[in-house]
Amino acid sequence: MAVIRTNIFSINLKYNMECYVILPDEIPKEKKLKTLWLYHGGSGDHTGWLYHTKIVEYVNERGFAAILPNVHESCFVDMNIGGKYGSYVGDELPKTMWNMFPILSSKREDNYICGLSNGGYGCLHTALKYPEKFGSVGAFSAGDKADADFANDNSEKSKTRIRLFGDTDLNQNEYGVKYQAHMLALQDIERPRIYHACGSEDPWLDMNLMVKKCFEEMPDKYDYTYDQIEGLGHVWPFWEEELVRYLNYLGLPIL
């Protein structure tokens, strides 16, 4: 097993960004490693999945690679006012990593993104924006930011919203996941397989269900699976359990 911490200058962001890369003990000679990109939540960073779950165990038992980026408070998007974190994490970082670690497969069918909370929204956003790079996405506790209440009232909350997305209607632009999903459905390309999960006690369960409804209304366009765990909310035990279920869903069994 190798746990690798990188500190690399980002062209998009113009400063150094940290990232963890976790590789299994056994690296097969004949083929490249499938890769799971793990997105942190709103108050987390690149250490979140490493410190709060047994991702190192899963990597080793199941023989894949995990990459844990850090995007600060950006929700994994190109901020309306702020850095182009969406381009960094969806485009620049994969290229950097594939360059630096050629043992990682760069095929779309071998790359998956998984995220929680803000990172759950973020991974849907990335996967729908870069469908040529990612074959599947596992979004946990993930609502569409388009469905969040917004009053342009100069509150801290509204300032953050404007900073991230502007004051526009997110059902009409790429910051909206359902908007993205509908736009992508019009194109004749391979779309990512979507695994979506929420705990029954999650305070944003209803927003998750709106996303569910969207994808379930396009069954011929999206291969969509929804999973709900009763009794769990917006907590690490839920996200860890869903991580394991998602690895099973992806066909990454214990070797």
Identified binder of its own copies from the candidate list 1, 31, 187, 200, rule CB under 8 A: 1
Identified binder of its own copies from the candidate list 28, 31, 99, 206, rule CB under 8 A: 99
102 CB-near residues (< 8 Å, 6+ apart): 32
The residues that bridge with 69 in the sheet, in sequence order, are 19
Is 174 among the residues that bind its own copies (CB under 8 A)? no
Is 241 among the residues that bind its own copies (CB under 8 A)? no
| Binding positions for its own copies, 101-130, rule CB under 8 A | 101-103
Q: Which residue has the tokens 């360059």?
A: 99
Is 148 among the residues that bind its own copies (CB under 8 A)? no
By the 8 A CB rule, do 208 and 216 touch? no
Identified binder of its own copies from the candidate list 12, 47, 168, 225, rule CB under 8 A: 47
Q: Which is nearer to its own copies, 107 or 157 (CB)?
A: 157
Q: Which is nearer to its own copies, 57 or 169 (CB)?
A: 57
Interacting residue ranges for its own copies, rule: CB under 8 A: 1-9, 13-16, 18, 23, 25, 27, 42-45, 47, 50-54, 56-57, 72-73, 81-83, 99-103, 159, 162-163, 236
